[in-house]
Chains A and B, each alone.
Chain A
Amino acid sequence: MPAPEQHRLIFRHIDERGYTNDIACYQRNGGYQVLRKAVLRKPEELMDEVKKSGLRGRGGAGFSCGVKWSLVDRKSGKPIYLVVNADESEPGTFKDRYIIYQDPHQLIEGIMITCFANRVERAFIYIRGEFPDGARILERAIAEARSAGFAGPNILGTGYGCEIYVHRGAGAYICGEETGLIESLEGKRPYPRIKPPYFPAVLGLYMCPTIVNNVETLCHVKHVADMGGEAYSRIGTPGNTGTRILCVSGHVQRPGYYEFEVGKVTMGQLLNEVCGGPLPGRRFKAVIPGGSSAKVLRFGERYKGKRKAGAETVEYDWGVEDIPMDFDSLAMIGSMGGSGGVIVMDDSVSMVEALGNINAFYSHESCGQCTPCREGSLWMKKITARMVHGEARPEDGALLKSVADQIAGRTICAFGEACAWPTQSFIAKFGDEFKGYGEAKKAPRPDGVPELV
């Protein structure tokens, strides 16, 4: 079956020749027309559209956006804040940065519609420190939008006002965790908060109800408001509506970002057709489907089980190539859609070394607040580093798995899972490679195998 055409909703103008990130260009292409119409509607109607659209968060967890909004405490009398999570730091993910760099007004329009729908009067864009240009672009775009009456006081003459502020992070992965982000935004160390009681919807930024949404999610809100929730929900597949940007990196012919209707493209179509297949003379070995914290998939393994297709339950028997790239299917086979970062590894890759790299990242990024993640992530890194440096023991794989098992599910935030899942899945699926790594490391490199540096 040939791969479907890309459906570019969010990325419609990305890399378009002549398209610039200023407001004039955005308005020439129909920009802010959705906001103009939205502010004439009732906020409740807009919230309803988002609920009907079935939009799911694009940051990683895939939580329903409509439900997230409905959980917000609107009776406390406190102000409600919108925090835009632009701390795109999951390895393998590079979608939000293109929105910010090339189409910032799409994000601002989405923010303003969201704020109007939720009666938010202050929105904060928390952008990762490594995007200094992105922050400057956003600042300029906000100033443009403000002077054009799309942001700031009295938006489009409605009397409703909302300010948007840009806050730059200082370079920490954990600031992408919503409560860590909120702490950082408040000027503290980004230690994620314990939940309960500190659910952002009730006790978020400055202990006020807060909505934290990903950049891409907010752009989708604009399109939901534009076409209506019903129409939006017909894009994609049931329960996995809309489009999704997939960021493919690693050992394929054409890595890059591709936007598809959710669930309409399979992993095989994506890698083999859209991305042009493996590099010459190589074969796919493994793929991480949703950012480096998602569990790895091994080419050649089969996933069997039952799933709901509409009203009935059908059996499925998939190889990696057959998996539809949607939230539910990837969760069903034991991984996740996550942030949409598809990391491909071919047969030149040592899984031990790949895990060593991932572990180095997570141990460096653990905030250090709670014990299992703080100590476990560094321990796993030390083990894999030792293995890679020639001191591997056959029992290290089992030890790694046991350490990872002591982390997942026992931490304050989802970082525990993020740092444990790679190790758990690498060992589960490539355990033999870990067991034999010590011997393999000592063996001379076969002719023709490229040296990895």
Chain B
Amino acid sequence: MIQPAAPDLVTVNIDGREISVPKGTNVIEAARRVNVDVPFYCYHPKLAVVGNCRMCLVEMGTPAVDPATKAPVMDPATGRQRINWSPRPAIACATNVSPGLHIRTTTQMVKDCREGVMEFLLINHPLDCPICDQAGECKLQEQATGYGRGYSRFVEQKNVKPKRTLLGPRVMLDDERCILCSRCIRFSKDVAKDDVLGFTDRGSYSTLTCYPGKKLENNYSLNTVDICPVGALTSTDFRFKMRVWFLKQTNSIDTESSVGANTVVWSREGAIYRITPRQNDAVNDTWMADSGRLLYKQVRDPSRLVGVLVNGAESALDFAVKAAADLLKAGGVAVVGSGRSSVEEQFLTRKLAEASKADAHLVSRVGKGDGLLISEDRNPNVRGALVTGLIASLPSPGLGSLGARIDAGEVRTVVSVGEDLGEAGLTPAQLSAVSVIYLGTHANATSGAARVVIPTLTVFEKDGTLVNQQFRIQRFSRAVPGAGGATDDLVVLARLVAAAGGPVLGADVASLWPAIAAEVPALGTMSHASLPDTGLLIDPAPWEALPFVEGPSLHYRPAGQREAARG
């Protein structure tokens, strides 16, 4: 790994504790490092600082110097340099560290400031927590408890504002709850580059709205819901569905492209309710695309495969494996692996191809990138297939060579790991000329025509790893139990490998990894269990010359452009 240059460190004093932090760090982040909580609403580490909520006011002091000689002024009582405390509080978000900066967060002045801001924020707030989706993850609730007075002195009429404004297809606004922090405005303008939000009216009557004729409908609109510190912006999909404190959080990865945005899947009693981004400063910061948040709907889709089929008849896994083994042993086999499979599944797919002396193919999925968090390669794990040795070169569109081999009569059986072969490019004639063994999650033309159908799991129901466009291997975990009738892909693949005469391999991630680490040089030093939540970079050198399709996106530059940027 390339180490970043050592940043210039600045020593500051926060509540009496000295800490060295990199130059350019603000006081909120510096305080975080010494476990001092500085509350805030409008500040967001990934957005421009505006300093409008005033919740982060702290007392600030700078070392005294003689104005004429610039010599430090010492305090004879302590023997240290005297500190000139500013009579006015300063906002911690816009105050960057400077040598010797002193910060106090526990004084009466700071307490008064926080109580004052909390009171102000709540006087016109509807306090409708019992029916508010944000309850449980609301900064107003948390900080009112932590820093508020606990009672109200407000006896006037509250302001009345629009309660149900549909800003776009996925985002609903309750203006009365809005505390006008402007995070959503800054996000739309600066990150999503879709400047559609703004305030109208002024003072306490300020109202968030879309510009005339505009809608908040870009593919990143739901990030505004994530960063809304209160319940003003809610997701039309999640709104009124579930209390957040009932939900279990599971780390996962957005599988819609090779960006590999880190996510959290929120579920309860086997049902997923929402997906939100998980911070990874090297991949997706704190953002993700709206489209990736709806992927969970596939779990309970009516087209889900829930029964093993052999020759169109309901069967059991043992029989299906036996039927498949007969086909595999008969020779003339091709394996169509998937860039959507996990590294572990791709490793076993490779093993299956080896055991059945088949050649392996991969389905190419190329779309338009958005330059942010959706890349051109819509397969989340093509690099995993390269790293595990399932394929040696990038997949070509249309499964061209496979079609030719079927036409030539060299291939009689095709194993498809979740891929719809018709959609991937095989003609109906080619499909009817072969026996298909289909491992997959949802019904499609291929599963309908397959000799053997074995239902498997979606990404939300299993464990595994994916390698994104940066060659970063990232882990996803099982959020909900597998659908009834479906079997873990690893179990199915491991059994097929063994049935085809291959080695007996682990049928779960933990027991499979030693084999992977032993056989895949790039992963030799890693283990699934020890992967950090933010992933680990694999040395991309062996594959860097391949013509990957991705253009630049957030935290990613194609190899050629990286060189150019460095030069």
Could you pull out 6 A-B pairs where Cβ atoms are within 8 angstroms? A365-B203, A371-B121, A374-B120, A375-B124, A378-B203, A382-B157
Q: Is B8 interfacial (CB-CB < 8 Å)?
A: no
Within 8 A of B (CB), among A186-216: 189, 191, 194, 196-197
Q: Is A366 interfacial (CB-CB < 8 Å)?
A: yes
Which residues of the other chain, B, contact A412 by a CB distance below 8 angstroms?
51-52, 54
**B54 in complex: contacting residue of A196, A197, A363, A410, CB < 8 Å:** A410
Alpha-carbon separation in the docked complex, A371 to B57 (Å): 12
Q: Are A367's CB and B203's CB within 8 A?
A: yes
Which residues of the other chain, A, contact B156 by a CB distance below 8 angstroms?
379, 382-383, 386
Assess A371 versus B179: contact at CB under 8 Å? Given A383-B156, A410-B113: yes
Q: Is B558 interfacial (CB-CB < 8 Å)?
A: no
The minimal Cβ–Cβ distance linking A225 to chain B, given in whole angstroms, is 31
The minimal Cβ–Cβ distance linking A143 to chain B, given in whole angstroms, is 34
* Chain B interface residue count, Cβ-Cβ cutoff 8 angstroms: 39
Q: Are B204's CB and A366's CB within 8 A?
A: yes
Q: Are B52's CB and A370's CB within 8 A?
A: yes
B87, closest chain A residue (CB): A409
Alpha-carbon separation in the docked complex, A96 to B535 (Å): 64
Alpha-carbon separation in the docked complex, A407 to B119 (Å): 11
Within 8 A of B (CB), among A157-183: 172
Q: Are A376's CB and B120's CB within 8 A?
A: yes
Alpha-carbon separation in the docked complex, A370 to B113 (Å): 13
A198, closest chain B residue (CB): B94
Within 8 A of B (CB), among A371-391: 371-372, 374-379, 382-383, 386
Chain B residues in contact with chain A, CB under 8 A? 49-55, 57, 87-89, 91, 94-95, 112-113, 115-117, 119-121, 123-124, 153-154, 156-157, 159, 179-180, 198-199, 201-206
Q: Are B124's CB and A368's CB within 8 A?
A: no
Chain A residues in contact with chain B, CB under 8 A? 172, 189, 191, 194, 196-197, 363-372, 374-379, 382-383, 386, 399, 402, 406-407, 409-412
The minimal Cβ–Cβ distance linking B515 to chain A, given in whole angstroms, is 56
The minimal Cβ–Cβ distance linking B1 to chain A, given in whole angstroms, is 34
Which residues of the other chain, B, contact A370 by a CB distance below 8 angstroms?
51-54
Alpha-carbon separation in the docked complex, A29 to B249 (Å): 80
Q: Are B117's CB and A368's CB within 8 A?
A: no
B179, closest chain A residue (CB): A371
Which residues of the other chain, B, contact A369 by a CB distance below 8 angstroms?
50, 52, 180
Q: Are B116's CB and A410's CB within 8 A?
A: yes
Apart from A197-B94, A410-B88: 15 A-B pairs, beta carbons within 8 A: A189-B199, A196-B95, A363-B203, A365-B203, A366-B204, A368-B180, A370-B52, A372-B54, A374-B204, A375-B123, A377-B204, A379-B123, A382-B156, A409-B87, A412-B51
The minimal Cβ–Cβ distance linking A298 to chain B, given in whole angstroms, is 26
The minimal Cβ–Cβ distance linking B107 to chain A, given in whole angstroms, is 14
**B153 in complex: contacting residue of A196, A376, A399, CB < 8 Å:** A399
Q: Are A371's CB and B120's CB within 8 A?
A: yes
Q: Are B203's CB and A409's CB within 8 A?
A: no
The minimal Cβ–Cβ distance linking B490 to chain A, given in whole angstroms, is 53
Alpha-carbon separation in the docked complex, A368 to B180 (Å): 8
The minimal Cβ–Cβ distance linking A195 to chain B, given in whole angstroms, is 9
Assess A379 versus B91: contact at CB under 8 Å? Given A367-B202, A412-B52: no
The minimal Cβ–Cβ distance linking A49 to chain B, given in whole angstroms, is 26
Assess A379 versus B120: contact at CB under 8 Å? Given A371-B54, A411-B54: yes
Q: Are B117's CB and A371's CB within 8 A?
A: yes
Alpha-carbon separation in the docked complex, A367 to B51 (Å): 14
Alpha-carbon separation in the docked complex, A383 to B153 (Å): 11
Which residues of the other chain, A, contact B153 by a CB distance below 8 angstroms?
399, 402
Which residues of the other chain, B, contact A363 by a CB distance below 8 angstroms?
203-204
Alpha-carbon separation in the docked complex, A371 to B53 (Å): 5
Assess A379 versus B154: contact at CB under 8 Å? Given A194-B50, A366-B203, A410-B113: yes
Q: Are B119's CB and A406's CB within 8 A?
A: yes
Which residues of the other chain, A, contact B199 by a CB distance below 8 angstroms?
189, 368
Interface centre among B52, B54, B57, B203 (most CB of A within 10 A): B203
Which residues of the other chain, B, contact A409 by a CB distance below 8 angstroms?
87-89
Closest 10 CB pairs of A and B: A406-B116, A375-B120, A368-B206, A382-B156, A366-B203, A378-B204, A194-B51, A370-B52, A368-B203, A368-B202
A368, closest chain B residue (CB): B206
Which residues of the other chain, A, contact B112 by a CB distance below 8 angstroms?
406
Which residues of the other chain, A, contact B154 by a CB distance below 8 angstroms?
379
The minimal Cβ–Cβ distance linking A421 to chain B, given in whole angstroms, is 15
A399, closest chain B residue (CB): B153
B182, closest chain A residue (CB): A369
Alpha-carbon separation in the docked complex, A383 to B124 (Å): 14
Q: Are B51's CB and A172's CB within 8 A?
A: no
The minimal Cβ–Cβ distance linking A404 to chain B, given in whole angstroms, is 11
Alpha-carbon separation in the docked complex, A196 to B51 (Å): 11
Q: Are B205's CB and A368's CB within 8 A?
A: yes
Alpha-carbon separation in the docked complex, A372 to B53 (Å): 8
Which residues of the other chain, B, contact A383 by a CB distance below 8 angstroms?
156
B153, closest chain A residue (CB): A399
Alpha-carbon separation in the docked complex, A370 to B181 (Å): 8
B200, closest chain A residue (CB): A189
Which residues of the other chain, A, contact B95 by a CB distance below 8 angstroms?
196
The minimal Cβ–Cβ distance linking A291 to chain B, given in whole angstroms, is 19
Which residues of the other chain, B, contact A377 by a CB distance below 8 angstroms?
203-204
Which residues of the other chain, A, contact B157 by a CB distance below 8 angstroms?
382
B207, closest chain A residue (CB): A368
B202, closest chain A residue (CB): A368
The minimal Cβ–Cβ distance linking B508 to chain A, given in whole angstroms, is 52
Which residues of the other chain, A, contact B55 by a CB distance below 8 angstroms?
371
Which residues of the other chain, A, contact B91 by a CB distance below 8 angstroms?
194
Which residues of the other chain, B, contact A379 by a CB distance below 8 angstroms?
120, 123, 154, 156
Q: Are B203's CB and A372's CB within 8 A?
A: no
Alpha-carbon separation in the docked complex, A379 to B115 (Å): 16
Assess A172 versus B49: contact at CB under 8 Å? Given A194-B94, A375-B120: no
Q: Are B57's CB and A410's CB within 8 A?
A: yes
The minimal Cβ–Cβ distance linking B230 to chain A, given in whole angstroms, is 13
Which residues of the other chain, A, contact B115 by a CB distance below 8 angstroms?
406
Which residues of the other chain, B, contact A378 by a CB distance below 8 angstroms?
124, 159, 203-205
Alpha-carbon separation in the docked complex, A409 to B88 (Å): 6
Which residues of the other chain, A, contact B203 by a CB distance below 8 angstroms?
363-368, 374, 377-378
Alpha-carbon separation in the docked complex, A409 to B60 (Å): 14
The minimal Cβ–Cβ distance linking A378 to chain B, given in whole angstroms, is 4
Which residues of the other chain, B, contact A399 by a CB distance below 8 angstroms?
153
Which residues of the other chain, B, contact A196 by a CB distance below 8 angstroms?
94-95
Alpha-carbon separation in the docked complex, A439 to B244 (Å): 51
B157, closest chain A residue (CB): A382
Interface centre among B53, B116, B120 (most CB of A within 10 A): B120
Which residues of the other chain, B, contact A365 by a CB distance below 8 angstroms?
202-203
Which residues of the other chain, A, contact B87 by a CB distance below 8 angstroms?
409
The minimal Cβ–Cβ distance linking A16 to chain B, given in whole angstroms, is 40
Which residues of the other chain, B, contact A194 by a CB distance below 8 angstroms?
49-51, 91, 94
Q: Are B202's CB and A372's CB within 8 A?
A: no
Alpha-carbon separation in the docked complex, A364 to B203 (Å): 7
Assess A375 versus B204: contact at CB under 8 Å? Given A370-B51, A406-B112: yes
Alpha-carbon separation in the docked complex, A377 to B52 (Å): 15
Alpha-carbon separation in the docked complex, A233 to B157 (Å): 54
Which residues of the other chain, A, contact B89 by a CB distance below 8 angstroms?
409-410
Alpha-carbon separation in the docked complex, A410 to B51 (Å): 11
B121, closest chain A residue (CB): A371
Alpha-carbon separation in the docked complex, A370 to B53 (Å): 5
The minimal Cβ–Cβ distance linking A240 to chain B, given in whole angstroms, is 24
Which residues of the other chain, A, contact B123 by a CB distance below 8 angstroms?
375, 379
Which residues of the other chain, A, contact B50 by a CB distance below 8 angstroms?
194, 369
Interface centre among A363, A372, A386, A402 (most CB of B within 10 A): A372
The minimal Cβ–Cβ distance linking B140 to chain A, given in whole angstroms, is 12
Alpha-carbon separation in the docked complex, A370 to B87 (Å): 20
B55, closest chain A residue (CB): A371
B201, closest chain A residue (CB): A368
B90, closest chain A residue (CB): A196
Q: Are B180's CB and A374's CB within 8 A?
A: yes
